[in-house]
Copies of this chain bind each other. A is one copy, B any other.
Amino acid sequence: MNDSVHIGFLLFPNVTQLDLTGPAQVLSRVPQARVHLLWKTVEPVATDVGFSINPTTAFADCPRLDVLCVPGGFGVGALLDDAEVLAFLRRQGAEARYVTSVCNGALLLGAAGLIDGYRSACHWMWRQYLPRFGAIPVAERVVRDRNRLSGGGVTAGIDFGFTLAAELAGADKAKAIQLGLEYDPQPPFDCGSPEKAGASLVAQLRALQAERIRNVEAQIDQAALY
Protein backbone atom coordinates (compact mmCIF):
# COMPACT_ATOMS: atom_id res chain seq x y z
CA MET A 1 0.00 0.00 0.00
CA ASN A 2 1.33 3.40 -0.99
CA ASP A 3 -0.44 6.27 0.68
CA SER A 4 2.18 8.93 0.01
CA VAL A 5 0.89 12.40 -0.78
CA HIS A 6 2.99 13.41 -3.77
CA ILE A 7 3.56 17.16 -3.82
CA GLY A 8 5.49 18.39 -6.84
CA PHE A 9 7.04 21.81 -7.36
CA LEU A 10 8.41 22.88 -10.71
CA LEU A 11 12.06 23.93 -10.22
CA PHE A 12 13.34 26.02 -13.12
CA PRO A 13 16.24 28.37 -13.88
CA ASN A 14 15.87 31.77 -12.23
CA VAL A 15 12.97 30.73 -10.04
CA THR A 16 12.33 33.04 -7.08
CA GLN A 17 13.44 30.35 -4.72
CA LEU A 18 11.28 31.41 -1.74
CA ASP A 19 8.16 30.90 -3.91
CA LEU A 20 9.05 27.24 -3.69
CA THR A 21 11.04 26.80 -0.49
CA GLY A 22 8.38 28.51 1.65
CA PRO A 23 5.42 26.27 0.81
CA ALA A 24 7.69 23.22 0.47
CA GLN A 25 8.72 23.70 4.12
CA VAL A 26 5.11 23.84 5.24
CA LEU A 27 3.81 21.02 3.05
CA SER A 28 6.71 18.67 3.81
CA ARG A 29 5.27 18.36 7.32
CA VAL A 30 1.89 17.10 6.14
CA PRO A 31 1.64 13.42 7.15
CA GLN A 32 2.82 11.11 4.33
CA ALA A 33 3.97 14.07 2.24
CA ARG A 34 6.63 13.41 -0.31
CA VAL A 35 8.01 16.61 -1.84
CA HIS A 36 9.33 16.44 -5.39
CA LEU A 37 11.32 19.18 -7.09
CA LEU A 38 10.73 18.67 -10.78
CA TRP A 39 12.69 19.62 -13.83
CA LYS A 40 13.72 18.21 -17.22
CA THR A 41 16.78 16.57 -15.68
CA VAL A 42 18.16 16.24 -12.16
CA GLU A 43 21.12 18.51 -12.84
CA PRO A 44 21.44 21.51 -10.46
CA VAL A 45 19.10 24.42 -11.23
CA ALA A 46 20.23 27.99 -10.57
CA THR A 47 17.87 30.10 -8.48
CA ASP A 48 17.51 33.87 -8.42
CA VAL A 49 19.59 34.09 -5.23
CA GLY A 50 22.71 32.71 -6.88
CA PHE A 51 22.78 29.26 -5.33
CA SER A 52 21.50 26.14 -7.02
CA ILE A 53 19.04 23.50 -5.85
CA ASN A 54 18.95 19.93 -7.08
CA PRO A 55 15.76 18.55 -8.59
CA THR A 56 14.69 15.32 -6.90
CA THR A 57 12.80 13.95 -9.88
CA ALA A 58 13.00 14.38 -13.65
CA PHE A 59 9.75 14.92 -15.54
CA ALA A 60 9.98 11.44 -17.04
CA ASP A 61 10.21 9.83 -13.59
CA CYS A 62 7.49 11.85 -11.88
CA PRO A 63 4.71 9.85 -10.26
CA ARG A 64 1.14 11.02 -10.62
CA LEU A 65 1.02 14.08 -8.36
CA ASP A 66 -1.57 14.84 -5.74
CA VAL A 67 -0.47 18.48 -5.80
CA LEU A 68 1.13 20.25 -8.75
CA CYS A 69 2.63 23.62 -7.82
CA VAL A 70 4.26 26.15 -10.13
CA PRO A 71 6.31 28.84 -8.37
CA GLY A 72 7.27 32.12 -10.04
CA GLY A 73 10.15 34.40 -10.76
CA PHE A 74 11.68 36.20 -13.70
CA GLY A 75 12.52 32.76 -15.10
CA VAL A 76 8.83 32.16 -15.84
CA GLY A 77 9.01 34.19 -19.04
CA ALA A 78 11.36 31.80 -20.83
CA LEU A 79 9.03 28.86 -20.15
CA LEU A 80 5.84 30.34 -21.56
CA ASP A 81 6.48 28.67 -24.90
CA ASP A 82 8.59 25.72 -23.72
CA ALA A 83 6.77 22.74 -25.21
CA GLU A 84 8.35 20.18 -22.87
CA VAL A 85 7.43 22.11 -19.73
CA LEU A 86 3.92 22.92 -20.93
CA ALA A 87 3.26 19.29 -21.90
CA PHE A 88 4.44 18.10 -18.48
CA LEU A 89 2.19 20.61 -16.69
CA ARG A 90 -0.81 19.64 -18.83
CA ARG A 91 -0.24 15.93 -18.24
CA GLN A 92 0.09 16.26 -14.46
CA GLY A 93 -2.48 19.04 -14.21
CA ALA A 94 -5.13 16.89 -15.85
CA GLU A 95 -5.03 14.36 -13.00
CA ALA A 96 -3.72 16.18 -9.94
CA ARG A 97 -6.01 16.65 -7.00
CA TYR A 98 -4.83 20.26 -6.67
CA VAL A 99 -3.37 22.44 -9.43
CA THR A 100 -1.62 25.34 -7.78
CA SER A 101 0.72 28.28 -8.22
CA VAL A 102 2.62 30.88 -6.26
CA CYS A 103 3.48 34.37 -7.52
CA ASN A 104 3.64 34.75 -11.31
CA GLY A 105 3.82 30.97 -11.64
CA ALA A 106 0.12 31.52 -12.38
CA LEU A 107 1.13 32.82 -15.82
CA LEU A 108 2.76 29.50 -16.61
CA LEU A 109 -0.32 27.56 -15.49
CA GLY A 110 -2.14 29.98 -17.79
CA ALA A 111 0.14 29.26 -20.76
CA ALA A 112 -0.50 25.55 -20.19
CA GLY A 113 -4.24 26.21 -20.41
CA LEU A 114 -4.82 25.10 -16.85
CA ILE A 115 -6.60 28.16 -15.43
CA ASP A 116 -8.78 29.25 -18.33
CA GLY A 117 -12.00 30.41 -16.69
CA TYR A 118 -10.57 30.16 -13.18
CA ARG A 119 -10.04 32.88 -10.61
CA SER A 120 -6.40 33.17 -9.61
CA ALA A 121 -4.02 35.07 -7.37
CA CYS A 122 -0.72 36.33 -8.75
CA HIS A 123 2.10 38.69 -7.74
CA TRP A 124 0.64 42.20 -7.89
CA MET A 125 3.13 43.21 -10.59
CA TRP A 126 1.97 40.49 -12.98
CA ARG A 127 -1.70 40.09 -12.13
CA GLN A 128 -2.94 42.14 -15.08
CA TYR A 129 -1.57 39.58 -17.55
CA LEU A 130 -3.76 36.71 -16.34
CA PRO A 131 -6.67 37.55 -18.69
CA ARG A 132 -4.41 36.85 -21.66
CA PHE A 133 -4.71 33.20 -20.61
CA GLY A 134 -8.42 33.36 -19.82
CA ALA A 135 -7.89 33.56 -16.06
CA ILE A 136 -9.59 36.03 -13.75
CA PRO A 137 -7.15 38.02 -11.59
CA VAL A 138 -8.03 38.36 -7.93
CA ALA A 139 -6.17 40.74 -5.61
CA GLU A 140 -6.13 38.39 -2.64
CA ARG A 141 -3.32 36.58 -0.92
CA VAL A 142 -4.69 33.07 -1.39
CA VAL A 143 -7.40 32.26 -3.93
CA ARG A 144 -9.31 29.05 -4.37
CA ASP A 145 -11.48 28.18 -7.36
CA ARG A 146 -12.60 24.56 -7.48
CA ASN A 147 -9.35 22.53 -7.31
CA ARG A 148 -7.15 25.45 -8.28
CA LEU A 149 -5.38 27.11 -5.34
CA SER A 150 -3.06 30.05 -5.86
CA GLY A 151 -0.93 32.37 -3.77
CA GLY A 152 0.06 35.97 -4.50
CA GLY A 153 3.65 37.18 -4.61
CA VAL A 154 6.56 35.22 -3.10
CA THR A 155 5.87 35.20 0.67
CA ALA A 156 2.16 34.59 -0.02
CA GLY A 157 3.36 31.08 -0.80
CA ILE A 158 3.65 30.47 2.93
CA ASP A 159 0.03 31.45 3.59
CA PHE A 160 -0.91 29.36 0.54
CA GLY A 161 1.06 26.45 2.04
CA PHE A 162 -0.83 26.53 5.32
CA THR A 163 -4.17 26.81 3.52
CA LEU A 164 -3.33 23.76 1.44
CA ALA A 165 -1.94 21.86 4.46
CA ALA A 166 -5.29 22.35 6.17
CA GLU A 167 -7.10 20.98 3.10
CA LEU A 168 -4.83 17.95 2.91
CA ALA A 169 -4.52 17.10 6.58
CA GLY A 170 -7.13 19.07 8.49
CA ALA A 171 -6.94 22.31 10.45
CA ASP A 172 -5.47 20.76 13.61
CA LYS A 173 -2.48 19.33 11.76
CA ALA A 174 -1.94 22.61 9.89
CA LYS A 175 -1.97 24.45 13.22
CA ALA A 176 0.65 22.12 14.69
CA ILE A 177 2.84 22.76 11.63
CA GLN A 178 2.35 26.50 12.07
CA LEU A 179 3.45 26.29 15.71
CA GLY A 180 6.48 24.23 14.75
CA LEU A 181 7.50 26.79 12.14
CA GLU A 182 6.71 29.59 14.62
CA TYR A 183 4.66 31.38 12.01
CA ASP A 184 3.56 34.42 13.93
CA PRO A 185 4.80 37.06 11.51
CA GLN A 186 5.81 40.53 12.67
CA PRO A 187 7.03 42.43 9.62
CA PRO A 188 9.19 45.40 10.63
CA PHE A 189 7.39 47.57 8.05
CA ASP A 190 3.82 47.64 6.79
CA CYS A 191 4.37 47.96 3.05
CA GLY A 192 3.90 44.49 1.63
CA SER A 193 1.24 45.42 -0.92
CA PRO A 194 1.08 48.27 -3.47
CA GLU A 195 -1.83 49.81 -1.58
CA LYS A 196 0.10 49.91 1.68
CA ALA A 197 3.42 50.83 0.09
CA GLY A 198 2.12 53.76 -1.95
CA ALA A 199 2.86 54.97 -5.47
CA SER A 200 6.38 56.23 -4.85
CA LEU A 201 7.70 52.90 -3.51
CA VAL A 202 5.93 51.04 -6.32
CA ALA A 203 7.61 53.29 -8.90
CA GLN A 204 10.99 52.84 -7.20
CA LEU A 205 10.71 49.05 -7.33
CA ARG A 206 9.54 49.03 -10.94
CA ALA A 207 12.48 51.22 -11.92
CA LEU A 208 14.93 48.88 -10.18
CA GLN A 209 13.61 45.85 -12.05
CA ALA A 210 12.68 47.64 -15.28
CA GLU A 211 14.76 45.62 -17.69
CA ARG A 212 13.79 42.24 -16.27
CA ILE A 213 10.13 43.27 -16.23
CA ARG A 214 10.30 44.34 -19.89
CA ASN A 215 11.88 41.02 -20.87
CA VAL A 216 9.13 38.97 -19.26
CA GLU A 217 6.44 41.26 -20.69
CA ALA A 218 7.85 40.64 -24.16
CA GLN A 219 7.81 36.90 -23.50
CA ILE A 220 4.18 37.07 -22.34
CA ASP A 221 3.37 38.99 -25.49
CA GLN A 222 4.91 36.30 -27.65
CA ALA A 223 3.48 33.31 -25.78
CA ALA A 224 1.33 31.16 -28.01
CA LEU A 225 -2.22 30.75 -26.79
CA TYR A 226 -2.38 27.07 -25.94
Q: B28 to A49, Cβ gap below 8 A?
A: yes
Stretch at the interface among A83-91, A112-120, A173-181, A218-226: A173-181
* One of B171, B178, B197 near A192 (C-beta < 8 A): B178
A residues 131-181 in Cβ contact with B at 8 Å: 141-142, 152-156, 158-159, 162-163, 166, 171-172, 174-176, 178-181
> Could you say which residues of chain B place their CB within 8 Å of the CB of A41?
none
**CB nearest neighbor in B for A124:** B182
Q: A51 to B35, Cβ gap below 8 A?
A: yes
* One of B18, B174, B192 near A188 (C-beta < 8 A): B174
Q: Mark A1-26, 1 if CB is under 8 A from B, else 0.
A: 00000000000000011100110110
* One of B158, B166, B179 near A197 (C-beta < 8 A): B179
- Shortest CB–CB separation between residue A107 and chain B, in angstroms? 15
Q: A176 to B192, Cβ gap below 8 A?
A: no
- The reply to whether the CB of A201 lies closer than 8 angstroms to some CB of chain B is yes
* One of B17, B163, B189, B204 near A25 (C-beta < 8 A): B17
Q: B187 to A159, Cβ gap below 8 A?
A: yes
- The reply to whether the CB of A79 lies closer than 8 angstroms to some CB of chain B is no
In the bound complex, how far is the Cα of B171 from the Cα of A176, in angstroms? 34
- The reply to whether the CB of A202 lies closer than 8 angstroms to some CB of chain B is yes
* One of B18, B49, B182, B190 near A35 (C-beta < 8 A): B49
- The reply to whether the CB of A97 lies closer than 8 angstroms to some CB of chain B is no
Q: Which 9 A-B pairs have the closest CB atoms?
A: A153-B182, A184-B192, A21-B21, A18-B25, A185-B185, A183-B192, A154-B181, A28-B49, A179-B197
A-B contact pairs, 30 of them (CB 8 A): A17-B25, A18-B181, A44-B54, A50-B56, A52-B53, A52-B54, A53-B53, A103-B182, A123-B182, A141-B184, A141-B186, A142-B186, A153-B181, A154-B180, A155-B181, A159-B186, A159-B188, A174-B188, A175-B191, A175-B197, A178-B191, A178-B192, A179-B194, A179-B197, A179-B205, A180-B209, A181-B192, A184-B187, A184-B190, A185-B185
